[in-house]
Amino acid sequence: MNLFNVKVIALVITGASLASVDGCDQSSLSGPPVLRLGRDECGECGMLISEDRCSSALLIERNGAREHVAFDDIGCMLDYQSRRVSETRVIEAYAHDYSSRQWMRVEAATFVRSTGDVVQTPMGSGIVAFANHTAAVEAQKKLGGEIMNLNDLTEARRKQR
């Protein structure tokens, strides 16, 4: 075997190894995304995400690969899910806590849904999320609207559209 053949075989093995590592990385993707304000686009409406208080994200699996889809408004995330239910599988869903601006799982969140003119969200849904139920109740007293869990919010949004 000459030196050229050895180099070609080494390149092929290296390329295959890197491809398998990259493939494993995609299948093990978990947790919320790193949100790049002013750079990331909303997966539903296409606007640049310019603030984090109302943003949300999904970790989805499409065609065997995992990826994050970020949203500028929780309403956009709900709309995306309802429109693309057959195309994607949602692995995890996240929203930013309106007070602390930290990511949280949406299943554990308490939502306040108010009118868009009282709670201004990027796309006017009026939906904000809280990790702490007491904080949500206090916000609802100030902002009006209603307290909702994820199932009630999803159903209300579906009826609204």
Q: Which of 114, 120, 42, 110 is nearest to 76 (CA)?
A: 42
- How confident is the model at residue 87, as a pLDDT? 81
In the numeric block, the tokens 């990331």 are attached to: 40
For the chain, domain boundaries: 31-160
pLDDT, tens digit, for every residue of 42-93?
Answer: 999 999 999 999 999 999 998 889 999 999 999 999 999 998 877 889 999 9
First to last CA, the chain: 67
Residue 11 has pLDDT above 60, yes or no: no
In the numeric block, the tokens 């100030």 are attached to: 142
In the numeric block, the tokens 């307290």 are attached to: 147
Distances (CA, A) of 10 to 5, 14, 23, 29: 9, 6, 20, 29
pTM of the model: 0.80
Distances (CA, A) of 101 to 24, 68, 94: 30, 18, 12
Edge-first strand order for the sheet with 146-148 is 127-130, 110-113, 146-148
pLDDT, tens digit, for every residue of 82-132?
Answer: 988 778 899 999 999 999 999 999 999 999 999 767 888 999 999 999 999
Per-residue burial over 35-60, b = 16 or more CB atoms within 10 Å of its CB, e = otherwise: beeeebebbbeeeebeebebbbbbbb
CA–CA dist 69, 49 (Å, integer): 12
- How confident is the model at residue 46, as a pLDDT? 96
Residue 4 or residue 78, greater confidence: 78
Mean pLDDT in residue range 134-142: 95
CA–CA dist 128, 21 (Å, integer): 38
Least confident of 14-18, 37-41, 79-83, 153-157: 14-18
Query: Could you give the residue ranges of the DSSP H alpha helices within 28-160?
Result: 74-83, 133-143, 150-160
- How confident is the model at residue 118, as a pLDDT? 80
